[in-house]
Structure 1
């Protein structure tokens, strides 16, 4: 058994199993056991080179074992790096990692991964994925290695050295014309998704904002006390209603940015749809009895649980098909339609940005409020004009 000194560490190399094994002694672990790192090879020289690499990593602060793989880094990031994110976000990122990252790169050693490897991987995906998805997948690898860096498992983040290529063109978003919007509203009237469609089209809320909306954030203006109060307290026998768009499906409940927090007065069409929806939901609650899940959600399943985005998409496509618009539409395009219709009616872009919670214009910045923003009435006024105050929401 040959003893050698590598840096400040004592090592031994000895024959084993038709080759050689090298071991470096690092003293003792907290439990009193001897701490040794081993490497194997066909020749003494190969083993010595591996031991030198171990010492170099130790002196650089790298603590990962030789067998720490890219898949290990990705799984560690999924387990530890997504704290505070919503279940939906975690499911989405996990799906992308298990579909596009781990199968292609996962079996390789993290310390052996090169920028060229990442480039080749991304170039292969660019022929299959849209550019937006490609960026998300690349981000998963970058963030996984970044976490591994922070835990001294790798020295460099080679994923940061690779540029995300351009992928396939994603499906462009569409907007409903005024005539199409009217056809959709008529078709939705007999659907369980009616209030969801009406609210989204006439206020421009995001799909995740609509799905996370709670009844105590649907408010009525009470003149006697000059205050907005939840309809759960004061009911629907009032003239003016609004919604607090403060919360989404993000973990912790807050909006994506502070500028997304806004209070929107409801057009009469949306207020009537929500009133009818509230009545129907109360009847459904009585029907299912103890099976009802009291999450206080405006839009929910038949037992009160949170709606799944995929289920909403399927239900929405049934409505668009019934409206004669086909099935190539998604709920998020109700927001695009809101912006388009408002713009067609001459509403200034600054006001539209304010209504939909966008940042980026000087006016939006000027009227920003840190907590409860003043109620924005221009959207409701415009929609009342566009679709008519006297319009009725038909029962299903």
Structure 2
């Protein structure tokens, strides 16, 4: 048995080592108990360390502390759509998780690291872990800054990296229309109720939410440009009590760079003018039944468009194109509305625009996003450029 100066005390028939701890930061002495000398030594060192670092004796468990930080602190500076996204992360990955019952003052780097590793083993994606850490890390820093943790260990967390295969799969999800598909799509949507929505997406690269929020005040016909300054989104109001039914809200665009001015072709400008006149006729016909939000793209009675409804109509157009294809035309693979934005960017690259220009027109926050998103497009353009060089050298030799 190890030698010790600790006293022993029997409580309910069980023998404990104990120590009466005195410290300047304690209002009165604190009795510390343990079944072994080693355990008691560790407890005393831990308590002294906390006292000397002015660590608050917070008894909250991680889940409670995280919820209080998220809903009462973090939410103060967030957009409604971001609140909704973060509430989903809290509900799926913090609430009732292996971290839940650990006291916030006792949580360690190992606890967080093991949780992330377990999630990866269960099949969670790298992007899921990164999104989760984007919330856990600032929560830990908040605890540290408020003297609840001895140190901020978030910089030591080892985060997973995407494999080359995952990166390739992401790049393959970018499916712009080829020139032939582009032409067939435009031909098929002529006279369609959403023709101008699709044409504007193809000629501006605007995101769906930006198009849904676009008002006539945002279009400068004289200067032939569109001011992108807001986005429409179906969002549920969230709190620690739960989620309310979703409703359309207007909020600032995705990033600061998303606030931008996009030039539009003269042809599109003229089409929009005609479309506006047609819309004015509907307003007169429906009179008081028309909900005038001054929207460019809306339902027949002036209300905001529904993304799921637009998605169904878009799919039906692709199906129509494929059912009417000629023998020499190819089947168009499944596409999303967002692929119209990719098509716009691809056409710009094919016309020789620089990545920096494309970045600004798309409203990407960083040029690396543009380059990563359109890696395959740029590679194809390089091949085409090399082919042109070969043709040039062949013609030079012929002369």
> For this structure pair, what is the TM-score category when the shorter chain's length is used for normalisation?
0.5 to 0.7
**1:345 — aligned with what?**
351
Is the aligned partner of 1:120 residue 2:114?
Answer: yes
Work out the CA distance in 2 between the residues paired with 1:67 and 1:47: 23
> For residue 150 of structure 1, what is the aligned residue in structure 2?
145
User: Counterparts of 1:186-225 in structure 2 under 5 Å?
Assistant: 186-189=187-190, 191-221=192-222
Distance 1:340 1:195, change over 3 A: same
TM-score, with structure 2 as normaliser:
0.64
Q: CA deviation at 1:44?
A: 11
Give, in angstroms, the shift of residue 42 of structure 1: 7.9
Which residue of 1 is the match for residue 320 of structure 2?
322
SS of 1:243's partner is: strand
- Contact 2:219/2:225, CA 8 A, preserved across alignment: yes
Residues 66 and 109 in structure 1, CA contact (< 8 A), matched pair in contact too: yes
- List runs of 5+ in structure 2 lacking aligned partners: 1-8, 10-17, 234-249, 323-330, 368-399
1:301 CA drift (Å): 5.5
| Alpha-carbon contact 1:194-1:273 (below 8 Å) kept | no
Q: Is the Cα contact below 8 Å between 1:134 and 1:167 reproduced in 2?
A: no
Equivalent position to 1:246, from 209, 229, 238: 229
Which residue of 70, 74, 77 maps to 1:81?
74
Whether the 8 Å contact between 2:174 and 2:342 is mirrored in structure 1 is: yes
In 2 relative to 1, CA 337–114 (structure 1 residues): closer, same or farther, beyond 3 Å? same
**In the superposition, relative to structure 1, how do residues 64 and 266 fare at CA in structure 2: closer, same or farther (>3 Å)?**
farther
Q: What do residues 269-293 of structure 1 show as CA deviations (whole Å, max 9, x unaligned)? A: 365157426734872696484683x
- The match for 2:392 is none
| Deviating 4+ runs (over 6 angstroms) | 41-52
Contact 2:212–2:297 (CA<8 Å) still a contact in 1? yes
Matched-pair contact (CA < 8 Å) for 1:4–1:10: no
Q: Which residue number corresponds to residue 179 of structure 1?
A: 180
CA contact (8 A) 1:76 1:144 kept: yes
The range that moved more, 144-153 or 199-208, is: 144-153
* Structure 1 residue 130: Cα displacement: 3.6
Work out the CA distance in 2 between the residues paired with 1:148 and 1:301. Answer: 48
Q: CA 1:283–1:348 in 2, change beyond 3 Å: closer, same or farther?
A: same
CA contact (8 A) 2:213 2:232 kept: yes
| Unaligned 5+ runs, structure 1 | 14-21, 23-38, 222-227, 229-240, 362-396
Post-superposition offset of 1:267:
4.4
Residue equivalent to 1:224:
none
Counterpart residue number, 2:294: 296
Change (3 A) 1:270 1:133: farther
> Kindly tell me: are residues 274 and 49 of structure 1, through their superposed partners in 2, closer, same or farther at Cα, counting changes over 3 Å?
farther
CA distance in 1, matches of 2:333, 2:95: 34
Partner of 1:380: none
Q: TM-score, normalised by structure 1?
A: 0.64
Return the structure number with greater helix share: 2
In structure 2, relative to structure 1, the CA distance for the partners of 1:215 and 1:59 (3 Å cut) is farther
Give the number of equivalent residue pairs. 317
